Structure 1
Amino acid sequence: MSEHNGFHVAVVGATGAVGQQMIQTLIKENFPIKELTLLSSARSAGKRVNVNGQEYTIHEAKPESFEGVEIALFSAGGSVSKELAHEAVKRGAIVVDNTSAFRMDEDKPLVVPEVNEADLLHHNGIIANPNCSTIQMVVALEPVRQKYGLKKVIVSTYQAVSGAGSAAVEELLEQTKSILNKETFEPKLLPVKSDKNHYQIAFNAIPQIDMFQENGYTFEEMKMINETKKIMNMPELQVSATCVRLPVAVGHSESVYFEIEAEDVSANDIKALLKDAPGIILQDDPENQVYPMPANCVGKNDVFVGRIRKDIDEDRGFHMWVVSDNLLKGAAWNSVQIAQSLVKLGLVK
């Protein structure tokens, strides 16, 4: 790649599950990179990693690490973002942040390129990447909203443990082995590492993702509710969520009920609409048992949609099943897509 058409890109949180995916996705999607800087916490600094046949040293993320960086992808936890994102912007970088640190800030766009790419035009240096479970849902709902209007959304999620980090995946595997071998084990991470109780995830379903709020919803549920309204620029939209962790390593699934404004719309109309929608693969052939499953979406960038059917009682109500790789479209790929959009819209200097 020649000098003039590449960018100096930094990945913060380069050793984490999502950081790793970000690096791989940048390479796989041929993002124009002139220089790649890999940053992480002090304890991972000095590690060497191989990226596409080239060896890189991981450096400690400090304010001065961002000198000359044009695009910085952050995925190292909210506290790191709060500490360093503004420092990166001060030095001329545009930050795409994959934590919840800035998602609800009014002056920071929350972007899913298939849905609200135009919001990037009003960025102030920091762009927030939404929550993984929100991203796949709005990709599936946006074409419906544009054509038929949208009034109400009720979602139940079936979320993979990788959403809680690679240590949680390790815990799932270890617990499964222990149970199969009839050994004892002590859950330490799920549902939430910092909460007081921890429960087994193997052969279980935990109806808590993130901490409970005063209204009885968890923070994850409130993220889905608030982020959906913001991304779609619809503060009046009715949204409710129940988020559940399942013993699946990668790939979030969601059962989504939605009500539209338009009359006389059939399930086939919705299928036809989603079949050609950006970022979506329709897998909906009940006769042949074709529907999306997390085991089949790992490593794929798309959002898979199936089981589209009309509600039996509510004429404007529909149900669908939405599945996606939470580390890709739910995180790394959406971040890289935002970077691609910044380049396309001429927003990166």
Structure 2
Amino acid sequence: MTRAKPKLILVHEPEKACLDRLVANGHARERAAEIASYLAQSTDLAPEFDALADACLKRGLSFAAVELDDAAGVLAGEHPATTLVWTLTDGIAYFRGSAAPTLARLGGFRTIGADDALFALCQDKFRSGAVLGALGLPVPPAGLARNGEWLVEPPASTAGWFVKPNRLGAKIGIWPDSRSLDLDHALELSRRVFSAYGDDVIVQPYVAGRNVRASFLGVAPGTGAEALGVAFVDSGGDFQTMADSLALYGETGEAAKAAGNYVQPELVPVAESQPAADARIRTIAARLMEGLGLRDVFSFDLRVEADDAVHLIEFEVCPGLPCFDFRDYCRSQWGLELADAMAETAASRLF
């Protein structure tokens, strides 16, 4: 009997499928479109599926891009010994991507990425923050509010607080006033978030510093924190808002490029100016890999102060692969364009 050709299956949840489902479930169309925009990596990567297929073919693999709603049926027809599943999106609330690695585990398929339990944990920022704190990592403590009521009161803070959705791309503040100088305003923000998106908010002490993105792709098995890419992400603002996010990715980002209004944030290696902070971030990455179970592909966001103090904000098991920062990481760390980096990673697991 002929052995099946090794195959990479990339499971992705399209923006439109999410938008239609959210509207059907009662979300206002404009708010549903904002929520679905977090799946823009599916939109942005789709034009490169042919390039991915070619890159896989050069390495002896076949490739299939599979929409999330079709994943169960497709996997039922594949052989676990020769099939690798790579999930492009997480999600337990607005998105459903965490179902894909669970389906893969149920079918006995190998996967790229963390254990499926982390696909659910990472999107709940209050719970994930508690786990990160228990691991001794420098995550700001947090309160939790729902529609103007405290579920957990936040810690005191002389610098004010930062308010963000708990399960919706929660590294960002939705609005420019997401930094709050009093807790009454924080509760008002929680009412606005609940009204618009139906989500709780976490309320953390505001931490100063520059925004940092740490990116990881283990092109070769056994790759450790030495392969981490650590860069300041300078966009000109203190923090990213929903409007900022919409302007960078998906259809809105493409429209901004077409109109000449697209401004890509500047990436600057942290090690160039703050080597001590870079070393601390790599230690955090090693702890995340050992203690939390991150592997293969992930990212995390931090704030770094001028004195090298480091604050871990969140981790992602499904980093935005087609985003400018991850592409830059693949080039600078591995000397590969995105499609080749993904194909090389898959081939190293299948052969």
Give the TM-score of the pair, scaled to structure 2.
Answer: 0.32
Give the TM-score of the pair, scaled to structure 1.
Answer: 0.33
Whose helix fraction is larger, Structure 1's or Structure 2's? 2
